[in-house]
């Protein structure tokens, strides 16, 4: 049985929104509340969990988290309010493989070409 992976959005002090990744959202939320979470939530303590997204792999969850963090504030508010069209568009393509990166030249390869 595989464990679920979650992306969560928190409403924090000053009406700010924090997005993070966790396997156990409740315990992670408690860490944030106690000041042992992230640097951001130490400065702006969380008030509530706005929304959670369950994904089947860590990789997909981290990709979704990154996509949410790139959104502008109004889009984050829509997403937190339950906009399913926006949620679906963010989840689109999470399964696609990333392009392989070209290897950087190492010192050995640099010497051979020089």
> Going from the N-terminus, what domains does the chain have, and what CATH number goes with each?
5-96 (3.40.1440)
d(CA 73, CA 81): 12
User: pLDDT (tens digit, 9 = 90+) per residue, 53-99?
Assistant: 999 999 999 999 999 999 999 999 999 999 999 999 999 988 886 66
**Sign (positive/negative) of CA torsion 68, 74, 75, 81?**
positive
d(CA 12, CA 48): 7
What residue has token string 């700010």?
16
d(CA 47, CA 33): 8
Query: Which of helix, strand or coil describes residue 83?
Result: coil
In this prediction, residue 109 has a pLDDT band, given cuts at 50, 70 and 90, of low
Looking at every residue in the chain, the average pLDDT score rounds to: 89
d(CA 86, CA 75): 8
């Amino acid at each position: 049985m595989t464990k679920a992976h979650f992306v969560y959005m928190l409403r924090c002090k000053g009406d700010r929104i924090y997005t993070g990744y966790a396997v156990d959202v409740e315990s992670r939320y408690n860490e944030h509340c106690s000041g042992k979470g992230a640097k951001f939530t130490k400065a702006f303590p969380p008030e509530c969990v706005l929304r959670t997204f369950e994904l089947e792999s860590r990789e997909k969850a981290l990709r979704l988290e990154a996509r949410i963090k790139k959104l502008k504030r109004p889009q984050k508010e829509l997403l937190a309010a339950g906009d399913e069209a926006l949620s679906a568009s963010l989840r689109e393509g999470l399964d696609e493989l990333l392009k392989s990166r070209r290897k950087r030249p190492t010192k050995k390869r640099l010497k051979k070409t020089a």
